[in-house]
Each structure stands twice: as structure tokens, then as C-alpha cells.
Amino acid sequence: MRTQWDSSQWSLLQELFPICRSLTGNGVRATLSILKREVPELTIREIASGTRVFDWTVPDEWNIRGAFLEGPDGKVVDFKDNNLHVVGYSEPVDAVLDLDALWPHLYSLESQPDAIPYVTSYYERRWGFCLTHKQKMSLRPGKYRAVIDSTLQPGSLTYADCVLPGKSDREILFSTYVCHPSLANDNLSGPVVAVALLKWLKTLNRQWTYRFVFVPETIGAIAYLQQHQALLTKTLAGFVLTCVGDDGPFSYLPSRAENTLADKAILNLLQHEVDTFKTYSYLDRGSDERQYCSPGIDLPVATLMRSKYGTFPEYHTSLDNLNYVTENGLTGSFSLFQKLISVLENNLPCQTTMPCEPQLGKRQLYNTLSQKGSSQRARTLLNFLAYCDGHHTLLDIAQKLNLSAHSLIEVRQLALDHSLVTRPFQNGL
């Protein structure tokens, strides 16, 4: 069943793909304003270069108008063809060099000779071109002209966020990043699924408050945490949205604390709602969970993704493109995150309204004729009630029953509808 949100994900990703994003600059701004067109609730914010954010300093803003490398046989690479051809944050250059002098400025992958690698140098001034290893090895000695028409000057770092309030001010955090140029799974899949989730969440009567954060990776998350410290006390569970667009099986990267609500929710979902999945260690982390979980922040943030960053060959190369990401990949991820959110929305502990078992028969929930064999439906309801002690959450009960928490939502609703359990208190978690 395709929903209204499914179809828009793929076209949004296609629209965003060509933009040259980086840690800062107009590519990020263009990206965020497209996202704001989709979700007007987004707030776009700027932090001036030179601002100290914890141990880091916001760097100069980088913008690029064009770049090319030309040699004895004509044009070698042009920024217009693929924005990965330029090392991110390259300083401006217009020089003629021998191949030998040029060589240290050329980046390629010997092990993937047909892929252009994605290379950046945010915190040290460099310039360089990225190209396929095949092409690099075919370059003839001679004079080469290297032109990068970029600027590196004080400006600002741009990010966006959006808070959808719920009945409770306890928050569910989704964080994704917007700093990679034409790379599809890592990272455009994240913002695209985030936008779909935001649109869907706006239609819900929400139990929790939802915060979505769109930042450049690492320094953006660090800056965000410094500027929004309320986060630290309000966050119930958080998720980094990354690499959710390919067709690979799902992966789970735990939070530092390993057993938070975010971890439990992901694990239950993966154990019961998908065929197969892969579990990583927190030691394998690499995205913004590094900041959200660091000892001085310590938020319950875990990552549910498809093929983990760094593990698929297309990662950080020109092969992570619109062929690698699929519409099925995106919609499958979106649908799993919908279930995740539904579980969290229904996770508050309930308490049975009567000390012993209720009489299900008089409520037409149990067969009045008692003979060998019994209804699984009644049995699951009774098992669910057996743990409604005001302490076990939906996820806790699902674990006891070895069932999908998502599948128990309707059992919980049945129990609520028949007043077999009390309405949960908002401060129950």
C-alpha cells in the first residue's frame, strides 16, 4: 500500500541530488529551503564563522562557482559533471603545473578504479581534484591547468530544525545531516525520510513532542547541542537518520548506554517486523550518535539504518547515486520508522483495573463454551494484561511475550476500549 508520503520521497531525493552541499555555504541553504518548502514548520538558522562551539570553531564559509582540470589531452574533469570532482573546502586555485606537481592534488581509489571518491579537508587549507583511478592512471605527463573558483571566507554555518509539540513535552529526536554533495544514500536518504515522517506526524494527535534536526554532520550536531541545551533533559529517545535509502537489510547501531528506550524500540522492531537485520557495536559508530551519546551529553540516541555507512562499497564515492538508492528502499525505511513512532506513542505503561483476571466472556472476548484448545486472541489479550502492572511498557510486554510491540498496539487498544486497563499517566515514562 503506497501512501501519499511514499511517492514524494523519491522525487524530493532526485531534486536534491545535484546540489553541491558542504559543511557550510549556499548548497546547504538551497537544500534547507527546499525542505522548508515541504515542511513550512522548519526554522532555518545561521551561526557565524568563528563562533566557538564547545571544543570546535565554526569554520569559514565555503562556496564554489566552478572548477576544472585541463591537460595535454583536453579537459580532464569538470565540476559541472560531478561535484565530487573537487575536494570539499578546496581553496581557490588557478595554476599550471606539471603532472608530477599536480599528482599530490589528485585523489582516486585504487581498489575501486571506476569510482570518484568523496574527499574533504574542512580544517586544513588544501585544494584537490577527485577522479576515477582509471582516469588518473591514464594521465600523460605534460602541463595541466587546475582551476577552482571557490571562496573561503567568514560567513556562517546553516542548519534547520522543527519541533512538533505533543501532549507531553518529552521529546523524540530525529537528527539527520545535510552536508554531503551528490551522494544519495549517505546522506540524502536521511533528510528525505525525515521530511516524510514530519508530514505524517503533523497528521497525528501526538503523545510526545517531536524534534527534527537538519545539520552538517559533526560540527553541526555539536553546535546544535550547544545552542539547544533543553534537549538534554527532555529527550526520551532519539534516532540518527542516515543511510535509509538502499535495498540492504536493516542495521542497528546501539546507543552508548546500549539499553535505552531507543535501543529497545529498534530491537523489537527488527526482531519482529523484518526478516533479517545486522547489529553493530557502539564502537562502530560514525555519524552524529558520536555527539548525542558522548559522555557530556549522554542522550538515548541509537541508529536504525539499512546498509551501515562505511560498509557498502558505494559509500563515499560517486557510486552512491540515484541507482544505488531505490524507491522501495526509501518507502520501506519510512514505513519501519512509522511503526517505530507508533510503538513509542503507545509505550506508556498501563495498569489493570481489576486485581485478578477479568471475565472476558461477559465482554464477548472469550468463548463461553470451555473445551480443549483456546483462542489465541483471548490468550494474547490475557498475556498482555498479565504484565499491565503499571511498570511494564508496551516494549517491555512485547519482550515478555516475544511479540512485535507494534502488533500489540491493537491489543492494548482493545484493553483500553473495554476498560480492562487504566489510561496511562503522561508521566508514566
Tell me the window of 4-12, 49-57, 148-156, 233-241 that interacts with its own copies (CB under 8 A).
Answer: 49-57
Q: Among 368, 54, 354, 37, which residue's Cα sits nearest to residue 220?
A: 54
Sign, Cα dihedral of 197, 200, 202, 204:
negative
Establish if 110 lies at the interface with its own copies (CB under 8 A). no
DSSP 332: H
Question: What number of chain residues touch its own copies (CB under 8 A)?
Answer: 59
Please report how many Cα atoms fall inside a 13 Å half-sphere around the Cα of residue 102, on the Cβ side.
Answer: 26
Please give the torsion angle defined by the CA atoms of residues 306, 282, 158 and 208, in that order, rounded to the nearest 10 degrees: 80
Contact 13, 142 (CB under 8 A): no
Establish if 369 lies at the interface with its own copies (CB under 8 A). yes
Establish if 387 lies at the interface with its own copies (CB under 8 A). yes
Member of 64, 102, 109, 146 binding its own copies (CB under 8 A): 109
Smallest distance, its own copies to C-beta of residue 56, A: 5
Q: Please, what is the Cα angle at 215 between 213 and 218, to 5 degrees?
A: 120
3-state secondary structure of 252: strand
Establish if 24 lies at the interface with its own copies (CB under 8 A). no
Establish if 388 lies at the interface with its own copies (CB under 8 A). yes
Smallest distance, its own copies to C-beta of residue 192, A: 24
The 10 Å Cβ neighbour count of residue 198 is 20
Smallest distance, its own copies to C-beta of residue 406, A: 19
Establish if 235 lies at the interface with its own copies (CB under 8 A). no
Q: Report d(CA 396, CA 261) in Å as an integer.
A: 10
What is the length of the chain? 429
Q: What's the N-to-C CA distance of the chain in angstroms?
A: 33
Q: Report d(CA 137, CA 377) in Å as an integer.
A: 67
The 10 Å Cβ neighbour count of residue 389 is 13
Member of 8, 63, 321, 351 binding its own copies (CB under 8 A): 351
Member of 16, 102, 131, 385 binding its own copies (CB under 8 A): 385
Site string for its own copies, 140-179 (x = CB under 8 A): ----------------------------------------
Q: Which residues pair with 149 in a beta bridge?
A: 66
Smallest distance, its own copies to C-beta of residue 346, A: 18
* Residue in the block written with cell 553541526: 220
Member of 34, 51, 56, 278 binding its own copies (CB under 8 A): 56
Contact 347, 395 (CB under 8 A): yes
Smallest distance, its own copies to C-beta of residue 368, A: 4
> H/E element holding 389?
none
Q: Report d(CA 254, CA 251) in Å as an integer.
A: 10
Q: Report d(CA 197, CA 190) in Å as an integer.
A: 11
Q: Report d(CA 372, CA 392) in Å as an integer.
A: 31
Tell me the window of 38-46, 167-175, 291-299, 331-339 that interacts with its own copies (CB under 8 A).
Answer: 291-299
Q: Report d(CA 158, CA 216) in Å as an integer.
A: 8
3-state secondary structure of 400: helix
Establish if 233 lies at the interface with its own copies (CB under 8 A). no
Establish if 416 lies at the interface with its own copies (CB under 8 A). no
Contact 152, 163 (CB under 8 A): no
Establish if 393 lies at the interface with its own copies (CB under 8 A). no
Tell me the window of 60-68, 138-146, 203-211, 215-223 that interacts with its own copies (CB under 8 A).
Answer: 215-223
Smallest distance, its own copies to C-beta of residue 358, A: 5
Member of 333, 346, 352, 393 binding its own copies (CB under 8 A): 352
Establish if 371 lies at the interface with its own copies (CB under 8 A). yes
Tell me the window of 158-166, 193-201, 336-344, 346-354 that interacts with its own copies (CB under 8 A).
Answer: 346-354
Tell me the window of 140-148, 156-164, 186-194, 308-316 that interacts with its own copies (CB under 8 A).
Answer: 308-316
Smallest distance, its own copies to C-beta of residue 232, A: 9
Establish if 382 lies at the interface with its own copies (CB under 8 A). yes
Residues of the shown chain interacting with its own copies in the complex, contacts defined by CB under 8 A: 54-56, 107, 109, 117-124, 126, 218, 221-222, 225-226, 256, 282-283, 290-291, 293-298, 310, 315-317, 351-352, 354-359, 361-362, 368-372, 382-383, 385-390, 400-401
